[in-house]
Amino acid sequence: MTRRSWILMALLAATWGASYMFIKVGLRDFSAGFIVCGRTALAAVVLLPVALRRDALRGLRGHGWDILVLALLQIVVPFLLITVGEHDLPSALAGILVASAPIFTALIAPLVDEDERARGWALVGVAVGIVGVALLFGVDLSGDAAALIAGLMVLVAGLCYGLGGLELKRRMTGSQPAGIAAATMATSALLTLPLAILTPPRSAGLDSVASLLALGALGTGLAFLIFYTLIAEVGPGRASLVAYLAPGFSVGYGVAVLGESITAGTVAGLALILAGSYLGAEGRPPWRRRAQPAVGPAVAPAGQPAPVRRPS
């Protein structure tokens, strides 16, 4: 990877990691439905011109149903779950729990795609990741029913990302990512528009408005453009490694900007989930070469890609 690629990856991780902080601030004045509709609409405004310029929408003809399913699985449902969950969950913890998506992918893949069955190191990764999740729920979320439910909601969002990534591989291989992202963002904005209309803000502070604009235009729209640039320059496998960098940024923002507390259990859970996600997605420890290239990127969760790879 070149210096430019590393700079882009760091910028992408920092931007996606900030998404949870922007959500937390936006919730001061906006409803969850309004935030999800606003961020997806802003992302569509950023992505649609790029998709049109690259003629990336042409290949989506005949995939209307698939776009709808992807919009629900990868954007509408998980974005809503994460945003509602952050009412009772620190942004840092939400960012960590979302990183469990590759673990869910490894668990459910055999049900829909035998080629994605977890073996060897991938199974070890699933076990390690589950221990990390259990640690977070046992240490950071114990004794608080609202936080426990919120944590479960974010985990379900991770499950949606896993399902959506497998659905993307199964039904839309060969379609341009820019077209898929633009179409799913626009569809998601339309699907959540009734929620935004039913729950308009009575008033909004400058910090909430700025956070929503940053979440949509930067954390969702611009971030995808950077991600696709990385895919073109270094390949989808290396580009998707940003998923393991972004949670660290989400923790840093939560502590430094929002004043959230971080415990030894949080740090340990983060380390175990990221290690488990890496092993589950890669099927190998980091000191071994990848035997097969990545099959392709999935559309991202509240900021982070959910890579779907063949275990080596």
Mean pLDDT within 197-220: 93
pLDDT band for 281, please (50, 70, 90 cuts).
Answer: low
Which has the higher per-residue pLDDT, 292 or 234?
A: 234
* pLDDT above 70: residue 18: yes
Q: Does residue 48 carry a pLDDT above 90?
A: yes
User: Lowest mean pLDDT: which of 103-112, 143-152, 155-164, 256-265?
Assistant: 103-112
Question: Residue 279: its pLDDT value, please?
Answer: 78
> In the 3-class helix/strand/coil scheme, how is 161-213 assigned residue by residue?
HHHHHHHHHHHCCCCCHHHHHHHHHHHHHHHHHHHHHHCCCCCCCHHHHHHHH
Report the pLDDT value the prediction gives residue 273, as an integer from 0 to 100.
81
| pLDDT value at residue 38 | 96
Q: Are 162 and 155 in contact (CB under 8 A)?
A: no
Mean pLDDT of 198-219: 93
pLDDT of residue 21: 95
Looking at residue 129, its pLDDT comes to 78
Quickly list DSSP for 282-295.
HSS-TTSPPSS---
The pLDDT, as a whole number, for residue 115 is 61
Q: How far is CA 187 from CA 16, 64, 192, 283, in A?
A: 21, 10, 9, 34
What are the residues whose beta carbons fall under 8 Å from the beta carbon of 251, sequence distance 6 or more?
A: 92, 95, 96, 262, 266, 270
Residue 97 has pLDDT above 90, yes or no: no
3-state secondary structure of 193: helix
| Mean pLDDT for the stretch of residues 8-30 | 92
Q: What is the pLDDT of residue 193?
A: 97
pLDDT, averaged across the chain = 81
